[in-house]
A and B are shown apart, each in its own frame.
Chain A
Amino acid sequence: EAGVTQFPSHSVIEKGQTVTLRCDPISGHDNLYWYRRVMGKEIKFLLHFVKESKQDESGMPNNRFLAERTGGTYSTLKVQPAELEDSGVYFCASSPNRADTQYFGPGTRLTVL
């Protein structure tokens, strides 16, 4: 069974540019989560989808971040325009039900110069 996959693995962009991160959850997992780890800090929750609906987006830092999950399958996280403080590793996770163990992807390392 394929795990959670994320694309790209690394992205280096300049301040002001736009970047879109993609997450493909494990097939059949209705719950999809985005997290971020800024260097030197802990992993922090960004938002949670149940199928295509946003269940909780309390962790989204500001309106420069837009997450979508059209069709309830893969999800994208767009940062527009990117700022220096957006640099970090963005993780995606999925689970069958909300109370189940979450399975994490390898992350996308974003560097904003």
Chain B
Amino acid sequence: DTGVSQNPRHKITKRGQNVTFRCDPISEHNRLYWYRQTLGQGPEFLTYFQNEAQLEKSRLLSDRFSAERPKGSFSTLEIQRTEQGDSAMYLCASSLRTGEKLFFGSGTQLSVL
């Protein structure tokens, strides 16, 4: 197993466009997390799935953001009508059980022009 995979690595978009990121967790992990990290800050929690169920969403996740995890496998994070403030690294992580360590992907760096 090669770990958590995220695509694309980089995304440049114009303000107002929609973007979608994909995350493939470690195959046996049923917990999947999305975090956002801006320069000089630690990762901030966005949302969490257990299997296909989205169990928690941060208040950071405005209604322009939507995440899905169909069939409890890969996940997508979509941002509609992007704003310059959405520019950040979007990190995906997975774990086997609650409280266990999270395995992170390399992230998707979003730049909104």
A and B are interacting partners = no
Q: Interface residues, chain A, CB within 8 Å of chain B?
A: none
Q: Interface residues, chain B, CB within 8 Å of chain A?
A: none
